[in-house]
Amino acid sequence: MSNIVLIGMPGVGKSTAGVVLAKLIGYNFIDTDLLIQEREHRLLSEIIANDGIDAFLRIEGEVNSAIETDNSIISTGGSVVYVEKAMEHLRKIGKIVYLKLSYETLESRLSNIEGRGVVLRKGQTLRDLYEERTKLYEKYAHYIVDEEGLDVEETIKKIEEVLGLNNT
Ligand SMILES: Nc1ncnc2c1ncn2[C@@H]1O[C@H](COP(=O)(O)OP(=O)(O)O)[C@@H](O)[C@H]1O
Ligand SMILES: O=C(O)C1=C[C@@H](OP(=O)(O)O)[C@@H](O)[C@H](O)C1
Ligand SMILES: [Mg+2]
């Protein structure tokens, strides 16, 4: 398999689980949020605050659409599902795994949503965002991993299981 692409809401653990999984299975690790910061020389929260959501999504779309790699775990930013062209590219270069959590668990993990620089439009609540995005994550996912009640290690094990990577 060429690449494994993790998608899902902010705080679900794409970055945390992604890097550990990469080490376990000997893959490279790419966090698209870091690619964006490297290109822009500024924080994601600064891009969103200064340039706005549409500009951030344009940059996120360009960065994700330009990824050329093999044998990598790619941890995306939660908003990449708004950019169809980027999602089509990611689906071509890898298997898309949607890390899923209930709204209640996510809400408790995302105590400081502004500080994280989430793509949240004016008037939109976290619940609205969850409902709008769930449809998109499900649409693009090749596999869905429900991590409710699981810790990082158990989540990684489940990802390996659904992808048939376990050799135990
Ligand atoms: N089962 C789990 N899988 C991944 N992360 C978890 C899990 N349970 C708790 N966490 C915690 O949730 C947070 C996830 O943050 P992060 O990896 O930045 O998410 P994302 O990249 O999806 O926004 C981390 O603090 C991590 O320790
Ligand atoms: O879902 C979002 O709106 C965002 C999620 C962030 O990445 P994580 O999903 O890794 O937190 C980052 O791309 C940006 O701050 C916007
Ligand atoms: Mg992340």
Task: Give dist(CA 21, CA 25) in Å, integer.
Answer: 6
Whether the pLDDT of residue 1 is over 60: the answer is no
Domain spans of the chain? 3-159
CA of 5 to the centre of ligand 1 (A): 16
**13 pocket-lining for ligand 1 (C-beta < 6 Å):** yes
pLDDT at 113: 63
The dihedrals phi and psi of 22, each to the nearest 5 degrees, come to -60, -45
Residue range 29-83, pLDDT digits in tens: 999 999 999 999 999 999 999 999 999 999 999 999 999 999 999 999 999 999 9
CA of 61 to the centre of ligand 1 (A): 23
Q: How many other C-beta atoms lie within 10 A of the C-beta of residue 131? A: 11
The set of protein residues with a Cβ atom below 6 angstroms from ligand 2 is: 10, 14-15, 33, 44, 77-79, 116-119
CA of 152 to the centre of ligand 1 (A): 7
Which candidate, 10, 1, 12, places its Cα nearest to that of 145?
Answer: 12
Domain 3-159 falls under CATH 3.90.1570.30: no
**19 pocket-lining for ligand 1 (C-beta < 6 Å):** no
**113 pocket-lining for ligand 1 (C-beta < 6 Å):** no
Whether the pLDDT of residue 18 is over 70: the answer is yes
pLDDT at 66: 98
Whether the pLDDT of residue 16 is over 80: the answer is yes
ipTM exceeding the 0.95 mark: yes
Residue range 90-148, pLDDT digits in tens: 999 999 999 999 999 999 988 766 667 899 998 999 999 999 999 999 999 999 999 99
The closest ligand to the CA of 64 turns out to be 2
- Name 29's bridge partners: 73
